Structure 1
Amino acid sequence: MLAPAPAPRPSPHGEPSLALPRSFWKDFARKHWDRQPTVLQRPFAAHFPTPGEIFEALLETSARYRRGEFTQPLRFYIEHMDGPGGMPYYSVLFDLSRHLPQREDGDLDGYLARLDSLLGGKRFGIVLNRAQCFQWNHWLQMTSFLSGFHEALGVPLGGSDSCVFLGNYRYTPFGVHKDDLHVFYFVIDGEKTMSLWPFDALADRQEVPKDDPDLIHKAGLIYLRDKEDEQRVLAKATTLVGRPGDVMYWPASYWHRAEPSRGLNISASLGVSFRPPPFTGMAPPGEWPRRLRHTELPAGPRSRLPEPVRKSLQRRSRRQDVLSAERESTSEWVRFLTGGALEGTPLEAREEPLKPQEWILASRERPIVSVPLPQGQVLVSANGRSATLTPAPAVLRRVEKLLTALNSGKPQQVEALEEAFFSRLTARSFNTRAFRALLDDLVRWRAVRRCEPPSSRAR
């Protein structure tokens, strides 16, 4: 078990940051990474995820569900204790229209009271994948936490994903299992008890394949036949207990299951994977790097994809009929990397278009990048989103200068940026409307935010 970690790094612009210092990650990598489970006791003085933020993420999910946008990231389980052999089982609720939170619930307590009435007191569990996509603070928390991980251990190119678990269920709904993910488990509300087993402890079971030497790095399930079988399995387990504010860690090689705890529990498991990103399955077969150095992440205008990724792309055919595939693959990689190697994109901002007299500010920690594409196009990307431009060479230089000014982290006036961009520009293929649309995109992507003008004293 790790002692309380050193104080987190200061958060930029008052954002909720969970960045930990280099000394912590150096110690963690030496003692625990890919070795054994541990509990990090309350490492953060502030900015830990809150039940209110998780409720907001569920509200956003609920709104999208009711608009018919998706159902895949969300699962709703109802617990039943009368399964075969005395083992509990969990049914999955497919019609979530009445069981998801509503604004009318007011808050999490109001939602839980309504849910308890709907379920007749039955225990339940909600599992929300890609939770970082549904609440902006949660995205900032996860990306800032990963910044130190990336520096110490590399950028895992299988992506990272925050999965929220909320409910009063007794056991993990899908039972004893293992993932192809290394897991950081944030205990947000309630006490959490986890049983864990190293891979070899359960590898001799009948349901575990014996002809796959790489299974230790893959997902798998253990099927408990009855209570007696459960007791035999539990006798081999290591137990971790996490309390609100704690972070547990276990390697991808470990089997695990949540055990009974009192009342409601809210937690978020941040999984990191070294498999190829999901979008590479759409591209021609080929080898992809498993990880990058943190210094290889895109960092501003005139950025290029990291050398290992470029070499993989260049091994594809150069024929004209695959240029569009190359362009799409490059764009996917850029969006993935500017999104902090997280799966999905953060929640868009809903704001009015910028006015000329307003001031805006970008974050130095999340630079806006431009990357060349085939056939003279350029991709402008930030926070996992992008726009494709086809500028003349003179306009491209202006775009790079604009992004350099924004990435300085200093307040910029919209009108002054526009005047500098179009000053003595003869080729007007990039007009004022396109310029303002680009800035509005950056606001919508949360790459820049409105700010107060600097005071005359500060200047």
Structure 2
Amino acid sequence: MARIDIQRRFDWDLFVTRYWNRRPVLYQATGASPFEDADAFDAALGASRGAMAPPTAIEARTDVQFTIDKGQPVQPGPWLPRDTDGSLDGYDARLAATLGSRRYALIISLLHSHGFGLWSRERAFFSELWRRVGIPLSGGITTLFHGNYEHSPVGVHLDRFTTFLFCLRGRKRMRFWAKRPWSMPVTTLVDYAPYLEKSFTAEVGPGDILYWPASYHHVGESAGEGVATSVNVGIPITGHQTRDDVEDLLNAGHGHAPRARDAARSPPLVRGILDGEGILSRELPVALRLAANTLREITHDTRTQANIRTLWLNRLSSGGFEPSPPPARRRVLKDTDVLHGNKAFPILVEKTGAGWCCSANGKALHVSGPRQPVNKLVATLNTAREVPVSELLHPFPSRGALPHRVLESLPATRAGMRRMLENLLTFRAIHVIGSSRGK
């Protein structure tokens, strides 16, 4: 029977040489994990707010799944994290008082898009991997698994991504099969007891890091009576395949081709793909219609290259984890405010058409005007030295105020560059550290 390698020291060079896309490995108590309980709770709160918003609201998200035993409540709101819980411990205590002995699972996909603290630590950690293997052409995914569930609700399955599991709290067992243990034409299996003999396991505790390649079938299990929390990070090892989108569309999240009786349970964007007889509709489903419209817009001759460059700069500045968390609240910058940037993760600038694209922390803004002063402003911020706003804006002409309407491209004037700095501040790419008044 296969056994998993155990390492006591985390070393990226050894990992890439020996384990990357080859075989699983467990790193025990190395102190290398980037994730903290408080950041995970903060991100879970952000995801829960979107999940509880009305379906038509702009902030509505479908990243959250909650199960009780083997069922899903129609309205998950009462079971999701709240500000009043204060922490994961407070959240667990509230659920324990309500659910008693019933088991539950909170699963949040795209966790990195809901909390800046978690996202920034994750980006810094994986930047060392990208130095060695290159940044993925399509973004990584981050998923929170929290609860006292018996095993992963989906059962034994195979991911499209090579995966890192970071254990935060409690204990969890991952069970692996080097090859698919069943022969039935299904992609997942909840009742896998007949195949236990062909599996091997790894038990993880707080601070441990577990890695496995995409070729291994696996399932997460409870390794005790308490609540366990882990953050899983999936890294694509090949470019995103169009067939994956088509498969998702047709499967509609059920693990098989859709049938007429599944129509009511299908996600809104793909609902109506089949008629009452189970025949494919002549009209494109909403998901494909929206995709086709977007493709027409971004492939217009005058915009294609600019859009491609912007998307790639955002991929680079986000560290491969998109979408990045939403911007912070805007504040007006005064001339006396002192700013500094982030030398480790600089603002990226590249020419796009007649102007310039600046990308920071996965978000872009566009500037029109001469190259030299714009590049100098960004280069100064990227040194991370402390500099007043007045010094940064001095090279730019004062003529021309910004109109009230939001501009697609900011002019290289003092007003335009002040707005650019304010945007970068909302992106959390720069920080205000004080005032130059009195110096």
TM-score (normalizing by structure 2): 0.77
Matched residue, 1:34: 21
Gaps of 5+ in 1: 7-23, 80-89, 209-219, 225-229, 283-315
Partner of 1:438: 420
Cross-structure match for 1:400? 375
Partner of 1:72: 62
Superposed CA deviations along residues 15-63 of structure 1, whole A, max 9, x for unmatched, are xxxxxxxxx2221122211121110112226x74222221111112222
Match of 1:267 among 222, 230, 233: 230
CA contact (8 A) 2:43 2:111 kept: yes
Structure 1's 181 and 96: CA in aligned 2 closer, same or farther, altered over 3 A? same
Determine the C-alpha separation between the residues in 2 that align with 1:195 and 1:323: 51
SS of the residue corresponding to residue 357 of structure 2 reads strand
Find the partner of 2:311 among 332, 337, 353. 332
Distance 2:74 2:308 in 1: 34
* Counterpart-to-counterpart distance in 1, 2:62 and 2:348: 31
Q: 2:351 aligns with which of 352, 365, 372?
A: 372
Contact 1:50 1:188 in 2 (8 A): yes
Cα distance in 2, alignment partners of residues 279 and 327 from structure 1: 23
- Tell me which residue corresponds to 2:47: 61
1:223–1:264: structure 2 CA closer, same or farther, 3 Å change rule?
closer
Root mean square deviation of aligned Cα: 3.1
Q: Distance in 2 between matches of 1:450 and 1:420?
A: 21
**How many equivalent pairs are there?**
371
Equivalent of residue 383 in structure 1, options 339, 361, 372 = 361
SS of the counterpart of 1:180?
coil
| Equivalent residue in structure 2 for 1:234, among 183, 196, 202 | 196
Distance apart, 1:453 and its partner CA: 6.8
Instruction: Call closer, same or farther: CA 1:268–1:440 in 2, change over 3 Å.
Output: same
Would you say the 8 A contact 2:27–2:210 is kept in 1? yes
Q: Deviations over 1:246-281 (max 9, x none)?
A: 000000000111122221000000110034358999
Matching residue of 1:221: 188
Q: How does 1:45-444 map to 2 (within 5 A)?
A: 48-68=34-54, 69-79=59-69, 90-198=70-178, 200-202=179-181, 205-207=183-185, 220-222=187-189, 224=191, 230-262=192-224, 263-277=226-240, 321-350=300-329, 352-374=331-353, 376-389=354-367, 391-392=368-369, 394=370, 396-422=371-397, 430-444=412-426
Asked if 1:449 is matched to 2:412, the reply is no
Quote the offset at 1:327 in angstroms: 3.0
Describe the SS at the equivalent of 1:274: coil
SS of the residue corresponding to residue 198 of structure 2 reads coil
Q: Give 5+ residue unaligned stretches, structure 2.
A: 246-294, 401-409
8 Å Cα contact 2:323/2:362 also seen in 1: yes
Shift of 1:172: 0.6
Q: How far off is 1:120 after superposition?
A: 5.0
Contact kept in structure 2, 1:371 and 1:378, CA below 8 Å? yes
Would you say the 8 A contact 1:161–1:271 is kept in 2? yes
Structure-2 change in CA distance of 1:34 and 1:132 (3 Å): same
How far 1:236 sits from its partner (Å)?
A: 0.6
Kindly indicate whether the alpha-carbon contact (under 8 Å) linking 1:172 and 1:257 is maintained by their aligned counterparts in 2. yes
CA offset at residue 91 of structure 1?
A: 2.1
Distance 2:190 2:43 in 1: 32
Q: Is the 8 A contact 2:203 2:223 kept in 1?
A: no
Cα gap change, 1:36 to 1:281, in 2 (>3 Å): closer
Q: How many Å separate the matches in 2 of 1:59 and 1:223?
A: 29
Residue type at the aligned position of 1:382: A
Cα distance in 2, alignment partners of residues 181 and 325 from structure 1: 29
Secondary structure of the residue that 1:257 maps to in structure 2?
Answer: strand
Give aligned-pair identity as a percent: 26
Deviation at 1:450, TM superposition (A): 1.6
Task: State the distance in 1 between where 2:97 and 2:231 align.
Answer: 26
Q: For 1:350, what is the secondary structure of its paired residue?
A: coil
Report runs of 4+ in structure 1 exceeding 4 Å deviation.
Answer: 277-282
Helix, strand or coil for the counterpart of 2:302?
helix
Partners of 1:166 and 1:266 within 8 A in 2: yes
Distance in 1, Cα, partners of 2:387 & 2:64 = 40
For the 8 Å contact 1:159–1:341, the answer to whether it is kept is yes
- Cα contact 1:156–1:274 (8 A) shared by 2: yes
- Change over 3 Å in CA distance of 1:235–1:190 after alignment to 2: same
Aligned residue type for 2:414: T
TM-score by length of 1: 0.74
Output the CA distance in 1 between the equivalents of 2:379 and 2:435: 19
Structure 2: distance between partners of 1:158 and 1:71: 21
